[in-house]
Amino acid sequence: MDQGQSQIAVMGVTGYAGAELARLLLGHPRLAGTPPLFLGREGSARESLTAIHPQLTGLSKDQLCIEPFSWELLAARWVKVLFLATPHEQSRKWAPEALSRGLRVIDLSGAWRLEDPANRAVYKFSDEGSATAAKTQAASVYGMPELHRDTIAKARLVANPGCYATTVILALKPLVAAGWVDVKRGIICDAKSGVSGAGKEPTAKTHFMYAADNLSAYGLFGHRHTGELLEQLDVAADAITFTPHLLPIPRGILATIYVTFLERHTAGEVEACLRAFYAESPMVRIHAAGQLPQIQHVVRTNFCDLGFQLAPDGRRCIVISCLDNLLKGAAGQAVQNLNVMSGWDETEGLL
């Protein structure tokens, strides 16, 4: 393959997650000498990548540009893997086409994450119920390596999880899978995210005058990531209450999760359960009992940190989960999925 050719392409590089994805791929040891092909809208003007993201200056010896999207360009550059950091409706359109052309796709949007039509309804997809959408959904694998590593390795379409969903699922899955959690008592998830989680497009609620010196709840009983929790944890909708909040910080998520166990357990048993579940998962760090994670310790990393405190009764447990919403919650997890799909070490380009 010529040095000017690429096997990786990224569609949608202007946003926060897209910029982080570009940074990680440009520094990835397996891609040295073959920078990704960065793509803009169909028919758009060619523009300098570093003019939009000056922080990427110097990461490549080439003068990188964002090229107008075309399928012909992808074929000419021998692209084999396409990242879609695009709005979900765009991903609904392009993922099926990419698969039909033999590409493997890692989609950062919510387009293909949900199996249950009832959970997908929150997105109001215009193609819902079509044969193409059904076929594409059947090919999709939920892109959380800690849960689906073997399936991701062979997947043609990987649906990168949502940032809140990643935070909560990683905290709860070991305990729910062990059969310890009394789901009839209900699970409470109180999660708080930095403003970058809302995306780059400004809104009234992400405006500095609204977000600064403020803390606000939103998306109650209707946040798009709720369906991911239900499907990946295999719990009923009335078993979990998820409330997201907007923190006046740029990035990072902290989730405080309240569960009740069916039987009494010791702190040692809880810690052992978490450590055993993630023994082969290098991107999840388990804190000792009583040592609680903080956003400042995970920001700008691809780690998810888990900690807990057990009540004296041995049944009530509070689990704390922290990650960077733009990395483990988006671009970093996408690169982690690329590594798994390519048969590379899961941590390459991420440490």
Left (φ > 0), alpha (ψ -120 to 50) or beta: where does 67 sit? beta
Q: What is the pLDDT of residues 54-91, one digit of tens each?
A: 999 988 877 799 999 999 999 999 999 999 999 999 99
Query: Catalytic: 317?
Result: no
pLDDT score of 199:
79
CA 111, CA 158: separation in Å to the nearest integer? 11
* Torsion sign (Cα): 129, 118, 257, 263: negative
| Distance separating the N- and C-terminal Cα atoms of the chain | 28
DSSP for 221-265 reads TT-TTHHHHHHHHT--GGGEEEEEEE-SSSS-EEEEEEEEBSS--
**H or E stretch at 305:** strand 304-310
CA 186, CA 318: separation in Å to the nearest integer? 13
Provide the b/e sequence for 91-112 (b: ≥16 CB within 10 Å).
bbbbbbebbeeebbbbbbbbbb
How far lies 208's CA from each of 69, 296, 298, in Å? 33, 21, 24
Q: Answer for the pair 160, 330: CB distance below 8 angstroms, yes or no.
A: yes
pLDDT score of 6:
65
pLDDT score of 201:
77
CB atoms inside a 10 Å sphere around CB 296: 10
Find the catalytic residue in 163, 189, 304, 317. 163
Q: Which of 269, 245, 270 is nearest to 256 (CA)?
A: 245
Q: What is the pTM of this model?
A: 0.95
Long-range contacts at 94-102 (CB < 8 A, ≥ 24 apart): 94/11, 95/136, 95/157, 96/132, 96/133, 96/135, 96/136, 97/71, 99/136, 99/139, 99/156, 99/157, 101/71, 101/74, 101/75
What parts of the chain have a pLDDT lower than 70?
Answer: 1-6
Structural domains in the chain, CATH included, are 8-161+330-342 (3.40.50.720), 163-326 (3.30.360.10)
CA 52, CA 49: separation in Å to the nearest integer? 6
pLDDT score of 5:
52
Where do runs of H (alpha helix) occur along 102-221?
117-120, 131-139, 145-154, 163-177, 208-211
